[in-house]
């Protein structure tokens, strides 16, 4: 357990940031799942709409350093390729 006031504050800040990051990460994963489900169903319009939302959340996670920028770029590239393959 922390003894000083500054370390107690750091623990509180870490818990708050962890919760915020978990929410952002799970929201991003949810939109990625929606894109993949639309691709599997063959619904190109729904997949493109979900892809726009997924892009937004992936970029937000990369900007907030929840994930690496290169990983975000790779995820966006793969999702786009899946949506474009619907034809």
- CATH number for the domain harbouring residue 74: 1.20.58.110
Q: How many domains does the chain have?
A: 1
C-alpha triplet 61, 50, 29: angle, nearest 5°: 40
Residue 29 domain boundaries: 5-84
pTM of the model: 0.87
Which residue is associated with the tokens 């929410």? 23
Positions of the chain with pLDDT under 50:
none
Query: What are 39-61's pLDDT values in tens digits?
Result: 999 999 999 999 999 999 999 99
Q: How far apart are CA 68 and CA 71, in angstroms?
A: 5
pLDDT at 87: 73
């Amino acid at each position: 357990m922390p003894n000083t006031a500054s370390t107690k504050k750091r623990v509180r800040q870490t818990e708050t940031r962890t919760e915020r990051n978990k929410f952002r990460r799970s929201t991003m994963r949810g939109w990625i799942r929606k894109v993949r489900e639309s691709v599997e169903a063959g619904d190109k319009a729904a997949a493109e709409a979900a892809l726009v939302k997924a892009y937004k959340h992936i970029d937000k996670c990369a900007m907030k350093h929840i994930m690496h920028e290169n990983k975000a770029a790779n995820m966006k590239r793969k999702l786009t390729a899946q949506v474009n393959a619907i034809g």
